[in-house]
Amino acid sequence: MILVVGSTGLLGREICHQLKARGLLTRALVRATADPARLDALAGLGATLAPGDLGDRASLAGACHGVDTVICTASAMPFAYQPGVNDIQSVDLEGVRRLIDVARESGVRHFITTSFSGNLEVPSPLHDAKRQVEHHLRASGMCYTILRPSYFMEVWFSPAVGFDAANHHATIYGAGDRRISWISLFDVARFAAACTQHAAAHNATLELGGPDALTPLEVLSIFETVARQRFVVTHVLHSALHVRYASATDPMQKSFAALMLGIVRGDWIPMGGLLRQIPVRLTSVQEYAGSHVVPVAQPAEA
């Protein structure tokens, strides 16, 4: 039995889908406040629903009972963030550490968690929480797998961070000339599911990137070509990002500013060696753009 924590999020739900495709029994930790439509979707994937919360140790013990492997994608960022209620401190740090402790006490053999790229070392509340959780997991005595994906296409090619392909607008952070191994969260889900059945994932920290290392300007060019339309581009200077980072007081805003500075630095992750051990077909930026952008109709020739 595999317990998925963070199952109502897009990544967690896709992991449940990938586990079902492998014929693996899945249990999903779900909060009482979860959207009923998301619960129905999980049930449709064959997952058994286990009511619980990262803040409730007893519910975690019940969810972990009889479980061999835990896959945790739980995070307050970017869309579930509520200061003082559902935030980086209570979820990404304290909640996941509590889950690790309960999993160990419950006899869980293998614990898989999602973090972020080892190249992204700009201190922030999210960075600090993720690295502390990694350390806690390694020291737990359980077999561990730490997945460290680069920047998610689904987040960083979205209006939430200023990349609005539908309206042909893009925000470029810094010069936009450093290569990044953009990755689809669906590919991260495939890795997470594969790691339940591959010895190469045991007691391993896996850096994950997509098949291409492209600069933000190269990404912009791909989207413009697919859309057949030039984008309106807003440039945010490196100096302005430093000011945003230094002045941020909210943990989520501080963490997003740190991630934006990471884009300025770049994040290239060679994948050849890992793919030989754990074969996963990776989605290219070209494919992603082709499936998410509607080309502008060209005027008919006279």
CATH number of the CATH domain containing 104: 3.40.50.720
pLDDT for the residue 82: 73
107: in domain: yes
**Structure tokens given for 56:** 């409730």
Banded pLDDT at 294 (limits 50, 70, 90): confident
112: in domain: yes
Question: For 203-233, how does the pLDDT look when each residue is reduced to its tens digit (9 = 90+)?
Answer: 999 999 999 999 999 999 999 999 999 999 9
Question: For 168-178, how does the pLDDT look when each residue is reduced to its tens digit (9 = 90+)?
Answer: 999 999 999 99
232: in domain: no
Question: For 118-143, how does the pLDDT look when each residue is reduced to its tens digit (9 = 90+)?
Answer: 888 899 999 999 999 999 999 999 99
The strand ranges marked E within 75-157 are 110-114, 143-149
- The alpha carbon of 214 is separated from its chain's Cα centroid by a whole number of angstroms, namely 19
Q: What is the largest CA-CA distance in the chain?
A: 74
Give φ, ψ of 73 to 5 degrees.
-120, 10
pLDDT for the residue 302: 45
236: in domain: no
The top-scoring range by mean pLDDT among 37-41, 78-82, 118-122, 269-273 is 269-273
The pLDDT mean for the chain works out to 93
The domain tally of the chain equals: 1
Rounded Cα gap, residues 178 and 174, in angstroms: 9
Task: Calculate what percentage of the chain has a pLDDT beyond 70.
Answer: 97
229: in domain: no
Number of helices and strands in the chain (H, E): 12, 9
Residue by residue, what is the 3-state secondary structure of 234-291?
EEECHHHHHHHHHHCCCHHHHHHHHHHHHHHHCECCCCHHHHHHCCCCCCCHHHHHHH
pTM of the model: 0.92
189: in domain: yes
pLDDT for the residue 79: 67
109: in domain: yes
60: in domain: yes
Domain coverage including residue 196: 2-151+183-209+268-282
